[in-house]
Structure 1
Amino acid sequence: MTGDPLREFDDGLAFWKTRPRWPQDLHNSFYTARQSKTDGTFGPPWWEDTLRHLFRWRATRGSTFEDLRRRFEENHAALVTVWQDVILPRLGADITTVSWDDVRALPDLAARIKPTAGSSGVFPSKLSHFIAPRLFPVLDRLALGGGSDYGRYFELVQQTWAGTEPADRELLRQRLTAHVHAHSGGTMVNGYPVVNKIVELRLIGRAHPSAL
């Protein structure tokens, strides 16, 4: 059962503001910087920068940097192929226009770089999000709780957006844009993952409703 989309969004944003390490521009500056670094070659400088961000986003726990570097090197050629065959043709789209089966090759490959006993979707979601943020939502169990199956979460994001009335969608876009502008000097990067961020905040709001 879902509640008021606008209330969920506001509650999610309120929770976000309580997290001292979560940027108040909702990662707008992060997406701006990453766009110029992802060229499809995924060379060593790209991976080292990505690895630092994955650490900051708490996605590397349980693995050493050495193990992650080794498995990245082992899967590097496959990553370039997935980028060329699966991601690049859809890079102008977003999560509303693809199916899980269309794009799952990237998170499936990411799971080989950081395998876990419980098949956690946290690392695959974050690495995939760094590469194509409009296609892949972030799965953060601290904020959202619940299971860690990334395919189910991906489809939950799609279903949540599909079940939102058009008028509410527009209001949510306006609220998100206004917040990002207020914390980014009036700009939102072209290609910002609007749908993914709105639904992420709504799901956070469901998990952490305001007492007011």
Structure 2
Amino acid sequence: MKPIELAEFQSGVSWWRTETTWPADLHHADYRVLAEQNPNGKFDPVWWASAVKRLTSWKALRPFSGAEVGRRVALNAEELAEAWRTSCEPYGNSDIEQVTWENVRGFPDLVGRLKPTKTPSAVFTSKFCHFLLPRVFPVVDGVALPSGQGTYESYFNQVKATWEATDDDVRTRLKSELRRYLGSEVDSSFPVVTKIVEVALIGRNHQVPA
């Protein structure tokens, strides 16, 4: 797997800030809110009322409605809670580098069935899971994965392997560069590793001067 280069991350940040309307802080503030709203396995209507708004704004539900997906969430709430307890709760303080797909797959495999597509949507699955456990579950979108193909499992393993292939000294510089871009200390809720790889993959596919 090709390791990350610092220039790729810098290019990714530049593209993010000049070519999109996404928050310039790489969603740094949003992750604090997500941490506060985390249902910790209680997938009830109160939680869904806020979750569906974010999933909609991140274009994870289309072409289906929030109500349609919400019905499937409600029907599977108990199974989701159990999958969270066994596959996610033990890794609440972990990063993607500290877990394997087999450790956590029980939750995304179930989430993939909530959106009624012919095959599981990697975009929907990733965003649903990322909002709950962002340090473990990376985001799939048409920018970081422009071909639009592959399963969420393959993308998860790509992100993990990309980070593991990156030398320790480069990792340190990437984290320092992230702090520089944010202009502040990184909040504990922020998914440092998955975000760095996401942005670097964007930079790998969209060469923009830093």
Q: Which moved more, 1:110-119 or 1:193-202?
A: 110-119
Match of 1:83 in 2: 84
Q: Give the superposed CA RMSD.
A: 1.7
Task: Write the distance in 2 (CA, Å) between the matches of 1:179 and 1:211.
Answer: 15
Q: 1:150 aligns with which of 141, 149, 152?
A: 152
Deviation sequence 1:94-153 (CA, Å, 0-9, x none):
100111111111111111111322432000000000010001000011343122411111
Q: CA deviation at 1:84?
A: 1.3
Unaligned runs of 5+ in 1: none
Task: Write the distance in 2 (CA, Å) between the matches of 1:81 and 1:119.
Answer: 20
Q: Does the residue aligned with 2:143 lie in a helix, a strand or coil? A: helix
Task: Write the distance in 1 (CA, Å) between the matches of 2:116 and 2:186.
Answer: 34
Residues 32-111 of structure 1: pairs in structure 2 closer than 5 A:
32-40=32-40, 41-111=42-112
TM-score, reference length from structure 1: 0.92
Identical columns (%): 37
- Answer yes or no: is the 8 Å Cα contact 2:11–2:209 preserved in 1: no
The one-letter amino acid paired with 1:65 is G
Return closer, same or farther for 1:21/1:119 CA change in 2, 3 Å cut-off: same
Match of 1:9 in 2: 9
Match of 2:18 in 1: 18
- Answer yes or no: is the 8 Å Cα contact 2:4–2:200 preserved in 1: no
Q: Which moved more, 1:142-151 or 1:124-133?
A: 142-151
The one-letter amino acid paired with 2:207 is P
Q: CA deviation at 1:38?
A: 1.1
Match of 1:175 in 2: 177
Return closer, same or farther for 1:79/1:19 CA change in 2, 3 Å cut-off: farther
- Answer yes or no: is the 8 Å Cα contact 2:4–2:162 preserved in 1: no
Match of 2:200 in 1: 202
Unaligned runs of 5+ in 2: none
Task: Write the distance in 2 (CA, Å) between the matches of 1:96 and 1:23.
Answer: 26
Task: Write the distance in 2 (CA, Å) between the matches of 1:142 and 1:165.
Answer: 25
Q: Does the residue aligned with 1:107 lie in a helix, a strand or coil? A: helix
Task: Write the distance in 1 (CA, Å) between the matches of 2:94 and 2:108.
Answer: 17
- Answer yes or no: is the 8 Å Cα contact 1:37–1:46 preserved in 2: yes
Task: Write the distance in 1 (CA, Å) between the matches of 2:102 and 2:116.
Answer: 20
Task: Write the distance in 2 (CA, Å) between the matches of 1:100 and 1:143.
Answer: 20
Q: CA deviation at 1:177?
A: 1.6
Task: Write the distance in 1 (CA, Å) between the matches of 2:60 and 2:3.
Answer: 30
Task: Write the distance in 2 (CA, Å) between the matches of 1:202 and 1:143.
Answer: 8
Q: Which moved more, 1:14-23 or 1:98-107?
A: 14-23
Q: CA deviation at 1:158?
A: 0.8
Task: Write the distance in 2 (CA, Å) between the matches of 1:11 and 1:159.
Answer: 21
Task: Write the distance in 1 (CA, Å) between the matches of 2:98 and 2:2.
Answer: 23
